[in-house]
Amino acid sequence: MSTNKLTDIVNASVELFMKKGYHATSMQDIADAVGLQKGSLYHYISSKEDLLVMIIQEALDQYIGRLAEIAASDLPPREKFAQAVRHHLMGIATNLGHLTIFLREAYALTPEQQAIVKRETERYNRLVERIYQEGVEQGVFRPLDPPLVIRTVLGACNWFYRWYRPGGRMSLEEMADFFVDVLFNGIVVR
Amino acid sequence: MSTNKLTDIVNASVELFMKKGYHATSMQDIADAVGLQKGSLYHYISSKEDLLVMIIQEALDQYIGRLAEIAASDLPPREKFAQAVRHHLMGIATNLGHLTIFLREAYALTPEQQAIVKRETERYNRLVERIYQEGVEQGVFRPLDPPLVIRTVLGACNWFYRWYRPGGRMSLEEMADFFVDVLFNGIVVR
């Protein structure tokens, strides 16, 4: 019962943080959204910052677990990289609330928490980088500066959270295929 | 004199909004940063939101003016597009404070102000899209979905504000060339 209530609180916070921003949302707003007295809210969480950490942690866990599976699979690097890009986009699209908070509000964390997020983000980036490097070694990908490749590719994907809204003219799969195509082949005719 | 003080106030706000976030920054913080009484601050601006609007407007003006020049020039589309990407990245790098506020805090604007920002952003996107379309018509660029191309390219560039810090191992020009190369040619060997 208590776990479900906590889930409700987290989900309500995601919505409020998304709409009003983290700083502009008060504990009272969250209590109202889940039908609790503000005092009772503290049975479940100890602060608003706690909630932000939980939301960001959930976003990160989901992301890294699946990417590690892709990286460890037997697929050829080109297919692995395509799957990593798809995974990244799908994760944003299906978890838009959590990811918006993560990508927009992480700067509000304490320095210690920011250090954890940075470490996890770097772990994620290194997994994608390793896939790219495999492709370079096998002669599939051009030998470019690896950290910059990862930042360009994931940057293009991350921006997705700013403009993607469900129910557009293209399906999520079509958009993911488009991203992979542009990042693999570029826009210039040859 | 009054204009210089206003510039000081805007610059101090950019720094504070960057560090603490827009919502967490108080008028008192801004007054302290420029050595004014809080009451005197209201001689220059009427609200914190005013400042946010000014910062975002400055970021947009600078951006759109130069891009319009590139779009209207006689350069071939491929070179125009490369210049647009360079302009976009350089704008972020040389104006990191304003752009961070713009890209991160615009959601805190009122719906009316958001509508203005949206209209200006779309104007910007359409200028880049027109350059791309010229390239498609001249057989230089692949005929892909134009709005998605623009979102992918500018998304990759926008993310720059999250990780670029001056004084790294590569110059800004090298990084801009890298972006143009990856977006033009992709990462796959052919």
For all residues of chain A together, what is the average pLDDT? 90
Burial B160-181 (b: 16+ CB within 10 A, else e): bbbebeeeeeeebeebbebbbb
Spans of all domains in chain B: 1-46, 47-185
Which backbone phi and psi does A70 adopt, to 5 degrees?
A: -60, -45
Helices (H), chain A: 2-20, 27-34, 38-41, 48-72, 77-94, 96-105, 111-137, 146-158, 160-163, 172-185
CB proximity B172 to A under 8 Å: no
Question: CA-CA distance, B169 to B163, in Å (whole number)?
Answer: 13
- Looking up tokens 């809210």 gives A41
pLDDT digits (tens, 9 = 90+) for B102-136: 888 888 888 888 888 888 889 999 999 999 999 99
pLDDT range class, residue B3, cuts 50, 70, 90: low
Indicate whether A165 pLDDT > 90: no
pLDDT digits (tens, 9 = 90+) for B24-55: 899 999 999 999 999 999 999 999 988 998 89
pLDDT range class, residue A77, cuts 50, 70, 90: very high
Which residue, among A187, A188, A190, would best test binding to B if mutated, counting the most B CBs under 10 Å from its CB?
A187
Grouping H, G, I as helix, E, B as strand and the rest as coil, residue A95 is: coil
**Nearest Cα residue in chain B from A132:** B187
Architecture of domain B1-46: Orthogonal Bundle (1.10)
For all residues of chain B together, what is the average pLDDT? 90
CATH class assigned to A47-185: mainly alpha
For B:49-108, CB contacts with A below 8 A are: 78, 104, 107-108
DSSP A151: H
Indicate whether A3 pLDDT > 80: no
Higher pLDDT, A166 or B79: B79
Taking alpha carbons only, the member of A66, A65, A52 closest to residue A100 is: A52
pLDDT range class, residue A1, cuts 50, 70, 90: very low
- For chain A, what's the residue count? 190
Higher pLDDT, B3 or A177: A177
Indicate whether B1 pLDDT > 70: no
Per-residue pLDDT, A11: 92
Could you please state the CATH topology (level 3) that the domain comprising A1-45 is classified under.
Arc Repressor Mutant, subunit A (1.10.10)
- Helix (H) and strand (E) counts for chain B? 10, 0
Per-residue pLDDT, B13: 95
Lowest mean pLDDT among A81-85, A148-152, B169-173: B169-173
For A:141-170, CB contacts with B below 8 A are: 141-142, 144-145, 148-149, 151-160, 162-163, 170
Burial B31-43 (b: 16+ CB within 10 A, else e): bebbebeeeebee
Rg, Å, chain B Cα set: 19
The ipTM, to two decimals, is: 0.82
For residues B132 and B83, the answer to whether their CB atoms sit within 8 Å is: no
Indicate whether A2 pLDDT > 70: no
